[in-house]
Structure 1
Amino acid sequence: MSHNTIALNQQRQPLQHLESVWLFGYGSLIYKADFPYLQCKPACIYGWQRRFWQGSHDHRGTPEAPGRVVTLVAADGARCVGMAYQVTPETFEHLDHREKNGYLRFFTELHWLDGFGQEVGVVYVASADNAAYLGPASEADIAAHIAKSQGPSGTNSDYLLQLAQALRMLSEQDEHVFAIEQALLLQLEQR
């Protein structure tokens, strides 16, 4: 599958018939809501874990030297915390462009972190069959990759550090993200 998924998302999952849609963000969407929304609240989804296994050719890297950003991978018993935004269907024109690098939209059940309810929402997931997928590596190797990557949206290091800070603000302990953050900070100190 191509890493530009704009047309595929719009064809597979038209949303114009809906009044509003909940969007679940688990990466930069947690801390960078560059779109209008009706409301937002902390949420989680079950059966998925956040992993720095997706290449970024368009934001935190280039086609010649992609950065590494997060995607979700299925994992029994896992829980992934993020932010949910209630948006109008028109907002997906911007979001589909922002998340075009291999991510497909799926509906999933969102659970509010305050424990009061749930809602069906949309999440973008980049699976192993897209052209930008980089796959697993050790935390040290991922950190080294992130340390040298940069793209039109800034450094890959900034993406990782902002995500780690946003997760702390949500009181979320994500061992994968925090291990890569620690490895990155050690590498940056040694420069």
Structure 2
Amino acid sequence: MSHNTIALNQQRQPLDHLDSVWLFGYGSLIYKADFPYLQRKPACIYGWQRRFWQGSHDHRGTPEAPGRVLTLIEAPGERCAGMAYQVTPQTFTHLDHREKNGYLRFFTELHWQDEPGQTAGLVYLASADNEAYLGPDSDAAIAAHIAVSAGPSGPNSEYLLQLAAALRELGEHDEHVFAIERELLNLLA
């Protein structure tokens, strides 16, 4: 699958018939909401974990030297916390462009963190069959890759450090993210 997924997302999942859609963010969408939204709430999804296994050719790296950003991997029994945004379907013109580097939209069940209840929502996921997928590596190797990567949206290290801070602000512990952050901070020291 091509790493530019804009047309594919729009073909497989037209949203024009809906008044609003909930979007779940587990990476930069937690701390960087550069789009209009109707409301925002902490939420989580079950059966998934964040991993720095996706290449970024367009934001935190370049086509010649992609950075590393997050995707989700299936993990039965696990919980992934993040931020949910209620948006209008028109917002996906921007979001599909922002998340075009190998990410497809999927509906999943969102569970609210601060109140009872759940709802269906969309999440962007980059699976192993997209051209930008980098796959697993050691925490030290991922941190070393992040330390030297940069793209139009800034240094790859900024993405990791802002995400770690946002997770702490939410009161969440993510061992994968924090282990790579520790390795990165050691490299930068």
2-side partners of 1:18 and 1:85: how far apart?
Answer: 15
Matched AA of 2:63: P
Aligned to 1:150: 150
Q: Normalised by the size of structure 1, how large is the TM-score?
A: 0.99
2-side partners of 1:16 and 1:142: how far apart?
Answer: 39
Aligned to 1:51: 51
2-side partners of 1:156 and 1:78: how far apart?
Answer: 26
Aligned to 2:96: 96
Aligned to 2:41: 41
RMSD between superposed Cα atoms in Å: 0.4
Paired positions, count: 189
Deviation at 1:178, TM superposition (A): 0.1
Matched AA of 2:32: K
1-side partners of 2:115 and 2:89: how far apart?
Answer: 26
2-side partners of 1:114 and 1:38: how far apart?
Answer: 18
Matched AA of 2:116: F
1-side partners of 2:131 and 2:97: how far apart?
Answer: 16
Structure 1 alignment gaps of length 5 or more: none
Aligned to 1:180: 180
Structure 2 alignment gaps of length 5 or more: none
Deviation at 1:115, TM superposition (A): 3.8
Matched AA of 1:76: P
Give runs of aligned pairs for residues 24-173 of structure 1, distance below 5 A. 24-173=24-173
Following TM superposition, the consecutive aligned residue runs of length 4 or more in structure 1 with deviations greater than 2 angstroms are none
Q: Normalised by the size of structure 2, how large is the TM-score?
A: 1.00
Matched AA of 1:131: E
> What percent of counterpart residues are identical?
81
